[in-house]
Structure 1
Amino acid sequence: MSVRRSGSGSPRACLSPFEEHIMSFALYLVGFVLLTCGIAWGLVTAGMPHLYVAIACVILIGLGIITGVAKTRSKDSSN
């Protein structure tokens, strides 16, 4: 990562496209894990059996990974 000065003189990090995708994916997964934890907490509070909560969490984390990869994947140029 290199640092570049913008027009106002403040340093700004220049990320490569790969680093930007990794940062986006990590941020997406952190948000999805927080969402999953909130849902699990709500289900346990509502009296749902722990086995069903664990199954729901595994499914949600799997969906989060799939959608995170699909949203942050770079597009192939077909030209």
Structure 2
Amino acid sequence: MSFLLYMIGFLIVIGGLAWGATVAGVPQLYIIIGAVVLLGIGILTAVSNTRHRDPPN
């Protein structure tokens, strides 16, 4: 799976969660903080899942 595809999917998930939190009445500051944290987690997991491993010797 490519890094770009992984990140697009993760951004869709973050957008859905942010929209749901907005509808539920969560303050905007908490939504922004949560989205930034989730984005960081998404980048870390995308890099670890899509990086090319060194071939064994």
* TM-score for the superposition, normalised by structure 1: 0.68
Mark the runs of 5 or more structure 2 residues left unpaired by the alignment: none
Corresponding residue for residue 51 of structure 2: 73
Distance 1:62 1:78 in 2: 30
Corresponding residue for residue 36 of structure 2: 58
Which has more strand, going by share of residues?
A: 1
* TM-score for the superposition, normalised by structure 2: 0.93
Equivalenced residue count is 57
Task: Write out the 4+ residue segments of structure 1 that deviate beyond 2 Å after TM superposition.
Answer: none
Which has more helix, going by share of residues?
A: 2
Flag the structure with larger Rg: 1
Corresponding residue for residue 45 of structure 1: 23
Mark the runs of 5 or more structure 1 residues left unpaired by the alignment: 1-20
Asked which structure has the greater RCO (Cα within 8 Å, sep 6+), the reply is 2
CA RMSD of aligned residues (A): 1.1
Distance 2:28 2:53 in 1: 40
